[in-house]
Amino acid sequence: MSELIAGRIGEIVEATTAAFTARCHELYVAPALGTLVRAGDNNPVLGIVAEVRTQSLDPSRRPIAMGVDEETEEAVYEHNPQLNRLLSTEFQAIVVGYESESGLKRHLSPFPPRIHSFVYECGRDRLREFSSSYEFLPSLLNSPIGPQDELIAAFLRYSSLTQEDAQAYLVGAGKALAPLLIGQIQRLNNILIRLIS
Amino acid sequence: MTGRLGMVVAGSLTEGVQIRLDVGISTETIKVGTFVSIQGGKFRFFGQVTGVALEAADMSLRGVPPDVSNPFIEQVISGTTAFGMITVEPMLVIADSDDPAAVLDGPQPAKTIPPHFAQVSIATENDIEIVFGEEDEEHFYIGTPLDMETRLALNIPELVTRSNGVFGKSGTGKTFLARLLLIGILQKSNAVNLVFDMHGEYGWKGSSEGTGREVKGLKQLFSSRVAVFTLDEESSRRRGLAPDYVVRIGYQEIEPEDIQILRETLSLSDVAADAVYSLHRHFGRNWLQDFLSHKGREGVRDLADSIGVNSTALSSLHNRLSRLERLPFIEGSGHDSLNQILRYLERGMHVVLEFGRYGNDLASYILVANLLTRRIHERYMQMSEQASDDPSRQPRPLVITIEEAHKFLTPSVADQTIFGTIAREDRKYNVTLMVVDQRPSGIDEEVMSQLGTKITCLLDSERDVDSVLTGRSGSRKLRDVLSRLESKQQALAFGHALPMPVVIRTRNYGSLESYKELGFRDDADSLSDITQARDDLFGPP
């Protein structure tokens, strides 16, 4: 994998308007849970990584244990180079917005990204711009993929690092979440705990 | 504290509007009685906070509170899931337009409530002036609204058109408040005061209960406009004060009605009290002196036989009335005290009648106050009737201040006393009352309901609170405000002279600065005045 195309982390293999799945170009080189990613070149769609999984390329063949005689985990991969071809890492992202000629939108794109679109990790500036408004919170709360509460906490933790006052940003996010979680005080409590831990 | 508090989220005209406090506004910063303004679409409403509550958007919060040991979580939950709510009673409304006609009409009583989501803020200085008026030749600065520095002014000419009451348990500052009102009347209206000063608090000097410090009375501040009369010359002289007049009451001036009002104070039975009329018929004008001259049991019994009255009752009446003989200010037959008072009042002088040591003798106070007031009222009636064709000849409005009214305006005697009559007949004859009292529940309900403006400091007893708020719409909410006043220098004022009820912190009284603010000029000021006048006349030296 060349270093030329900086930030490119994968390629879309499945896409709907609400979510897409991308296969990573390298085994285990996936964006972290809660990362803001961009897919496509025209009107790129923005997504937040909601689940990362590594599995056998052939769903009918489960990997078998291979490290019985090996000293370290690295040695397993060293002595079995075919593993990099038999296993693959994928991630799923939920769509939270898109970029259009008129600017950044924080709602679903009218069309899903195309298959084989490249997926890039968004830079700090884009992340700050996107997260400067809490409008994305409802889509994360209702994410069809992955543990939503963990996802929200992970994304807010990342995005807070791009803001001038991280603590104030998190308090603001908490306050924006509170009305969305009326009647679910314990869930709110759990998310809040994850925000600061 | 200024600025936005929150927004209207619910409410009704009867229960007041509910306001959800903004994130960051703590219930701790808002007190019952705070004056707020609500910006509606077409109108601006003014009201008073009557309730403060803690609410939660999530009912499970009560049972399973979040983990607030973590300050972050507390910070998030406060103001969102858990928030403060205040109830505001909209009382006045003013058209919010550039139309000067609408603004000129001034605030009107609120007959509706602001819409959902109307913005609520703490009232500004400008709001207070719109509602209560600025301090001017008719408005007297009486204090500041709760938690504000703005001067709240009372419309004094409006105040004196009706009888008023100043209430509060002892030590809450009602005497200070009454003294300020007297000064207000002196400065801002053409009415004159006649004060029956039971404990020597208003004339020359008074005392501050908290500090024991002396404060100046009306005479010290406005010597050219105030006359101090006394019943007890010795006490006045002892205090280094030369009274303007020493009041004496002649026996002939005491009429049966004056004894009737003492019925409870002297523990007279009905028969004994009624015997007074028989005595009056029998002896004529000098009945009291003649009656008291019958010494010994035999003498009284013979008299009882001759006028056909029960001798035991007459004998007890004799006993009780003979204490009047021991009062040195009752002597001889005719005195000019009444005319003196009237002459002073007609000249626009304010009269403070000090009782000296007789202030502790309730019978003396009631007797003298009632006797003088009755005659003054008669005279005012005559003058008013004579001037009925020519309003310009109407007598100068008179405000009579009485203390401890609950002892002689009780329901059983209120209709017999002149004070009851004055309170009821209103301003018909240009005489009104200012009742200063600590137990309003003892005062006849009808008299209480006739009081136009009531200014009340903290009251302890439920019955007193009830009695002060009798006949006042929305009294339940005012009751909450009243019962939470601070014990010093705070009062709830409402009624005729005020467009809406308001809690005030009474203005300071007692420091040189406060006197100067009231227009008092000390020796140094006077000297500079004289120097200035001399320089004006003859040129600088």
What secondary structure, in 3-state letters, does B47-113 show? EEEEEEEEEECCCHHHHCCCCCCCHHHHHHHECCCEEEEEEEEEEEEEECCCCHHHHHCCCEECCCC
Residue B249 DSSP label: B
B67 touches chain A (CB under 8 A): yes
**Is residue B99 scored above 80 in pLDDT?**
no
| Domain contains B524 | no
**Is residue A1 scored above 50 in pLDDT?**
no
B449 — pLDDT class (breaks 50, 70, 90): confident
**CATH number, domain containing residue B478:** 3.40.50.300
Average pLDDT on A20-31 reads 93
Average pLDDT on B130-137 reads 85
Measure A175 CA to nearest chain B CA, in Å: 5
Which of A171, A185, A193 shows the shortest C-beta gap to B58?
A185
Please identify, among B325, B356, B375, the residue that sits at the C-terminal boundary of a domain: B325
> Distance between CA atoms of B163 and B425, rounded to whole angstroms?
10
A–B CB contacts, 8 A cutoff, strictly below: 57
Residue B359 DSSP label: G
State chain B's mean pLDDT as an integer.
85
Q: What was the pLDDT predicted at A5? A: 62
Q: Terminus-to-terminus CA distance in chain B, angstroms?
A: 53
For the ranges A159-168, B79-88, B504-513, the lowest mean pLDDT is seen at: B504-513
Burial class (CB within 10 angstroms; exposed 0-12, middle 13-18, buried 19+) of B385:
exposed
Among B58-72, B182-196, B503-517, which range has the highest average pLDDT? Answer: B182-196
Do B263 and B204 belong to one domain?
no
> Which region, left, alpha or beta, applies to residue A115 given φ > 0 means left and ψ of -120 to 50 means alpha?
beta
Q: Alpha helices, DSSP H only, in B326-386?
A: 337-346, 362-386
Question: pLDDT tens digit string along B116-132?
Answer: 999 999 988 888 888 88
Do B282 and B159 belong to one domain?
no
**Is residue A197 scored above 80 in pLDDT?**
no
**H or E element at residue B538:** helix B523-538
Question: pLDDT tens digit string along B317-374?
Answer: 888 888 888 888 888 766 788 888 989 998 889 999 988 888 888 888 888 888 899 8
Q: Which chain A residue shows the shortest CA-CA distance from B79? A: A175
Q: What was the pLDDT predicted at A3? A: 42
- Name the one residue in this structure whose structure tokens are 């502790």: B360
Do B263 and B229 belong to one domain?
no
Average pLDDT on B431-436 reads 92
Do B310 and B430 belong to one domain?
no
Average pLDDT on A104-121 reads 93
| Domain contains B480 | yes
Q: Within a 10 A sphere around the Cβ of B298, how many other Cβ atoms?
A: 9
Its sign, for the CA torsion B439, B441, B447, B450, is positive
The range of the structural domain enclosing residue B321 comes to 251-325
Question: What percent of chain B lies above the pLDDT cut of 90?
Answer: 18
| Domain contains B531 | no
B78 touches chain A (CB under 8 A): no
Average pLDDT on A76-101 reads 92
Question: pLDDT tens digit string along A160-179?
Answer: 999 999 999 999 999 999 99
Question: pLDDT tens digit string along A115-152?
Answer: 999 999 999 999 999 999 999 999 889 888 888 999 99
Q: What was the pLDDT predicted at A162? A: 94
Strand order from edge to edge, sheet including B164-167: B152-155, B139-145, B502-506, B490-495, B453-456, B164-167, B431-437, B398-403, B192-197, B350-354, B226-230, B245-246
Contacts of B84 (CB under 8 A, 6+ apart): B6, B20, B21, B25, B26, B27, B30, B52, B53, B54, B55
Do B340 and B479 belong to one domain?
yes
Q: What was the pLDDT predicted at B21? A: 93
Contacts of B67 in chain A (CB under 8 A): 189, 193
Q: What was the pLDDT predicted at A4? A: 39
> Distance between CA atoms of A130 and B254, rounded to whole angstroms?
93
Do B500 and B380 belong to one domain?
yes
Question: pLDDT tens digit string along B453-463?
Answer: 999 999 988 89
> Distance between CA atoms of B410 and B407, rounded to whole angstroms?
6
B84 — pLDDT class (breaks 50, 70, 90): very high
Do B433 and B321 belong to one domain?
no
B408 or B437, higher pLDDT = B437
A99 — pLDDT class (breaks 50, 70, 90): very high
B62 touches chain A (CB under 8 A): no
Which of A170, A171, A185 shows the shortest C-beta gap to B64?
A185
Question: Which amino acid would we find at residue B483?
Answer: S
* Full-model pTM: 0.76
Do B296 and B349 belong to one domain?
no
Average pLDDT on B47-59 reads 90
Contacts of A170 in chain B (CB under 8 A): 72
Do B219 and B258 belong to one domain?
no
B76 touches chain A (CB under 8 A): yes
Q: What was the pLDDT predicted at A6? A: 67
Number of independent structural domains in chain B = 3
Contact B76 A182 (CB under 8 A): no
DSSP state letters, B371-425: HHHHHHHHHHHHHHHHTTT-GGGSPPPEEEEEE-GGGTS-TTTTTTSHHHHHHHH
Q: Which chain A residue shows the shortest CA-CA distance from B66? A: A189
ipTM over 0.85: no
Average pLDDT on B34-57 reads 90
Q: At A142, phi and psi to the nearest 5?
A: -105, 20
Interface list for B 18-37 with A (CB within 8 A): 23
**H or E element at residue A88:** strand A87-100
Question: What percent of chain A lies above the pLDDT cut of 90?
Answer: 72
Average pLDDT on B215-228 reads 87
Do B288 and B371 belong to one domain?
no
Q: What was the pLDDT predicted at B308? A: 83
DSSP state letters, A11-45: EEEEE-SSEEEEEESSTT--PPTT-EEEE-SSSPE
Picking from A175, A187, A191, A195 by the largest number of B CB atoms within 10 A of its own CB, the best residue to mutate is: A175
Do B435 and B484 belong to one domain?
yes
What token pair was written down for B240?
A: 């280094």
Q: What was the pLDDT predicted at B430? A: 87
Contact B81 A182 (CB under 8 A): yes
Which of A185, A188, A192 shows the shortest C-beta gap to B72?
A192
What token pair was written down for B42?
A: 């077409």
| Domain contains B349 | yes
For residues B17 and B61, the answer to whether their CB atoms sit within 8 Å is: no
Closest to A152 in 3D by CA, of A187, A106, A110, A125: A187
Do B372 and B474 belong to one domain?
yes
Contacts of A195 in chain B (CB under 8 A): 72
- Helices and strands of chain A, counted as H and E runs: 7, 7
> Distance between CA atoms of B460 and B471, rounded to whole angstroms?
20
Q: What was the pLDDT predicted at B334? A: 64
- Name the one residue in this structure whose structure tokens are 């004859």: B429
**Is residue A20 scored above 60 in pLDDT?**
yes
Question: Which amino acid would we find at residue A173?
Answer: A
- Going from N- to C-terminal start, the domains of chain A cover 8-196
Contact B66 A185 (CB under 8 A): yes
Contacts of A193 in chain B (CB under 8 A): 67, 70, 73
A24 — pLDDT class (breaks 50, 70, 90): very high
Among A2-16, A95-109, B94-108, B378-392, which range has the highest average pLDDT? Answer: A95-109
> Distance between CA atoms of A128 and A138, rounded to whole angstroms?
18
For residues B231 and B355, the answer to whether their CB atoms sit within 8 Å is: yes
| Domain contains B170 | yes
